[in-house]
Chains A and B, each alone.
Chain A
Amino acid sequence: MSKQELLFFFSAFLFCSGLLIAVTKKNAIVVLMGIELMLNAANLNLALFNFQKRGMDGQLLALFIIIVAVCEAAVGIAIILKSYHFYHSSVLDQISDLKEKN
């Protein structure tokens, strides 16, 4: 197995384990971590294809993915903090009301 094949299988494994983390965990921050892992697996694939071909397109696409991932993490943690103030919990199953109970 060559180095690039191994890296491709590794990125597939990373994506699948990120999906598994996002599906199975109950804490909202750990779910965000799983999403970050999936984005990183996509980045690894892009860097790998950039290594195989001439040019810089893969690296730049990975750079833009990193920027979008940072925005997503910042807004996601802000939303989690806000919902923690309301529900006093960051467990996703307990965040179930759309409206304040009177």
Chain B
Amino acid sequence: MMQEVILYLFIGFSIMSVLVILLNRNVFYSALALLTCLISLSGIYGLLQAEFLAVTQLLIYAGGVLVLMIFGIMLTNRIAGKSFESKSHNWIPGILVTTSLLVVLVITFQNSSIKATQNELNTGNHIRNVGIELMSTYAAPFEVSGVLLLVCLIGAALTASSFKKSSHE
């Protein structure tokens, strides 16, 4: 009972923060609302017995990506004058497309057999199981994702750095 109350609380928080991102014009407020949305999503992961995923979400999204985005907002918006303003457009086609997509998803779910499966409670140490799976079955994707992170690091540093084309002159 207590779990369900907490779940509804988290869902309500994230829906409200998504609406804040959609409706306000200040980019900085959008970043902070995205932060609350991601934190409540990590709470939902914790309730779904995915503890490792919850902690990873907190560490990487709330700690890393959001800070990166706030840095981006600070660097790309002029502080003086009309600061942090973000206009929006295409409201009518956007709402049309997204509501029809939502209807399609809901109808698909109603007709599918996914909801019939009852959860068998996974007992045992989940984090330990995640570690064992990561190092045995999923060892190859793990290595590839390490290479991807290295490539992304070099690429982002090279793209954002302001080195001059000295070979031109």
User: Are chains A and B native binding partners rather than an unrelated pairing?
Assistant: yes
- A residues adjacent to B (C-beta < 8 A): 2-10, 12-17, 19-21, 23-30, 32-34, 36-37, 40, 43-44, 47-54, 56-60, 62-64, 66-71, 73-75, 77-82, 84-85, 90-91
- Contact between A33 and B69 (Cβ–Cβ < 8 Å)? yes
Residues of chain B contacted by A2 (CB below 8 angstroms): 115
DSSP class of B's interface residues: helix, strand, loop or mixed? helix
Interface membership of B149, Cβ < 8 A: yes
- Contact between B11 and A6 (Cβ–Cβ < 8 Å)? yes
- Contact between B90 and A24 (Cβ–Cβ < 8 Å)? yes
- Contact between B97 and A19 (Cβ–Cβ < 8 Å)? yes
- Contact between B106 and A19 (Cβ–Cβ < 8 Å)? no
Q: In the complex, what's the smallest C-beta–C-beta distance from B80 to chain A, in angstroms?
A: 13
- B residues adjacent to A (C-beta < 8 A): 4, 7, 11, 14-15, 18-19, 21-22, 27, 30-31, 34, 37-38, 41, 44-45, 48-50, 52-53, 56-57, 60-61, 64-65, 68-69, 71-73, 75-77, 86-91, 93-95, 97-99, 101-102, 105-106, 109, 114-115, 117-120, 122, 126, 129-130, 133-134, 138, 141, 145, 148-149, 151-153, 155-157, 159-160, 162
| Cross-chain contact of B69 among A32, A51, A67 (Cβ < 8 A) | A32
Residues of chain B contacted by A27 (CB below 8 angstroms): 27, 86
The docked-state distance in angstroms from the alpha carbon of A23 to that of B93 is 9
The docked-state distance in angstroms from the alpha carbon of A43 to that of B52 is 13
Beyond A23-B94, A26-B88, A33-B30, whether A66 also contacts B61 by CB under 8 A is yes
The docked-state distance in angstroms from the alpha carbon of A58 to that of B50 is 9
| Cross-chain contact of B50 among A3, A14, A50 (Cβ < 8 A) | A50
Residues of chain B contacted by A50 (CB below 8 angstroms): 48, 50
Question: Which residue on chain A has the smallest CB distance to residue B46?
Answer: A47
The docked-state distance in angstroms from the alpha carbon of A93 to that of B15 is 29
